[in-house]
Amino acid sequence: MKLEGLSILGQGRVTAAGKSYAAINPATGLAIGPDYFWATTADVDAAAQLAAKAFVEFRRWSGQRRAGFINRIAELLEANAAAIVERVTLETGLAAARLQGELARTCFQLRLYGQAAASGLCASARIDHADPNRKPLAKPDLRSMMVPVGPVVVFGASNFPLAFSVAGGDTASAFAAGCPVIVKPHQGHLGTAELVGLLVQQAACECQAPEGIFSLLYGSGREVGIALVKHPLVKSVGFTGSRTGGRALMDAAAARPEPIPVYAEMGSINPVFFLAGVMNQKPEELAAGLHASVTLGVGQFCTNPGLIFVERGNGADVFLQKLETLIAATASGTMLTADLCAAYRSGVEKFSNFSGVKRQAQSKADLGAGNAQAGAALFVTDAETFLSNHHLRDEIFGPSTLVVQCRSRAQMLNAANQLEGQLTATIHGLPEELQANHELVEMLATKVGRLVFNSFPTGVEVAHAMTHGGPYPATSDGRSSSVGTRAVDRFLRPVSYQNFPDTALPAELQESNPLKIDRLVDGKLIL
């Protein structure tokens, strides 16, 4: 498949014109061809117009037909896996084994969303039959279902070039809902975006989807991204990235004459709490597990554990000694881009200069030819310093973590109370310690989307019950999730039909249930 460096507009391509940008290999600093041409405001309008036109037809597709389209995307990704992995490796510096796993995850989640559409889970059909004899007022016939909101803009994430990108979870869940998608890919993996985008375009053609069901526009977030969010035909946005980027999109969407929701995942420090009982039993094992989680993928996971709480004691001392040894011996790694590496190094220096914070260990790392090599870092402070310096709750995106030493469980609880919204929080302890620390568990449940016990937060299972979200500022809307089948809810809205004749109802709500989907009928789930 030949790469041309051009945006995808429906079933065609955008003409090369204006500003261009080259993909960069972060390991070498060398450009990777071809040059990529930025879309224009006219291209933005054309993509939005096509998406709005496609929505008229796509929203009428049955769940089974949507599933067929989504499943075809997965099949094409698998058929072209070698070419995709080869390109992503060049653009990100990530290992081929990691990318093969991410591609498998991407295809699995595509099929999961297809299954959700086909089964009727996305429709969430509900029927309350009429009761004309009810007193004092007759009860009307009421039937409701979820319907798609309209064209969705998806922003590709830097740290997951496949699973949170062109055909990733946001795109797949929007398709499952019945929404056309316009993708603004991340500048860190331009060729990967084109490869995957062309396969989505192929699937759309093969499945006879309306033109405009999918477009992909290259450009900067400040220009093309904001223009997409402001376009009046766009009805929702999915974003994974920084708090600065997410807030800019939220503000632009809120300032529109017709405000729209932006579902932004904006970062998290994912606190981990080690209780004394388990710490005294296996401190070195816990240190090894934490080290593996902190340094996984050069720390470039949104669930990276960047903040650790321990109770002072002999077990905690052994834990810190082991963790220091492991961090110091960690091999340097290539970060996704030189800019991310620069931001990481800046964050490490900032923490190193805080009073009361000690840089306990740091592995050596030269910048390398691509200015993207990073080493792991370990910081240690006490609870008093942590509570008095809110900057110690800032995220350092990369392979570093801050250990906070607490004098008591009460002090640990106080520190937990000061935390902002997070994607995850983790508790390591003996089963009986959970009962003794129920206040900590309850406190953390108000601040996170996922509570983890005796494991580590890196690794987000794609499953119906998964929540990958959390209260602000982890996400813009703590009621949402970007992983699992609840992710589809972001791009749906409920509509009720009152006293409609059966023949005029959508198939999902007709009495005979012609689509054979799961429905809630008179308060009972009928399968």
Q: What is the pTM of this model?
A: 0.96
CA-based R_g, the chain, Å? 25
> For 260-319, what is each residue's pLDDT tens digit?
999 999 999 999 999 999 999 999 999 999 999 999 999 999 999 999 999 999 999 999
Report the distance separating Cα 32 and Cα 140, nearest Å: 64
Strands 377-382 and 358-362: what pairing? antiparallel
Strands 126-128 and 142-148: what pairing? antiparallel
Report the distance separating Cα 154 and Cα 116, nearest Å: 20
Which domains are assigned to the chain? 48-128+137-266+480-491 (3.40.605.10), 272-453 (3.40.309.10)
> For 396-416, what is each residue's pLDDT tens digit?
999 999 999 999 999 999 999
In order along the chain (527 residues), what is the average pLDDT of each group of 10 residues?
A: 95 89 95 96 97 98 97 98 98 95 98 96 97 97 98 97 98 98 97 98 98 97 96 98 96 98 97 97 98 97 98 97 98 96 97 97 94 98 97 97 97 96 98 93 97 97 97 97 98 98 97 95 94
Q: Hunting for tokens 């969407």 — which residue is that?
A: 253
Residues 147/153/158/161 CA torsion (nearest 10 deg): 60
Side chain identity at residue 381, one-letter code: T
Q: How many CB atoms lie within 10 A of CB 508?
A: 23
What residues contact residue 485 under an 8 Å CB cut-off, 6+ apart?
112, 113, 116, 121, 122, 464
Report the distance separating Cα 423 and Cα 271, nearest Å: 9
- The pLDDT of residue 19 is 87
- The pLDDT of residue 443 is 96
Contact 299, 511 (CB under 8 A): no
Q: Hunting for tokens 């033109």 — which residue is that?
A: 211
- The pLDDT of residue 18 is 76
Report the distance separating Cα 226 and Cα 253, nearest Å: 9
Active site amino acids: 265, 302
How is the beta sheet containing 8-9 ordered, strand by strand? 12-13, 8-9, 214-216, 181-184, 152-155, 236-240, 262-265
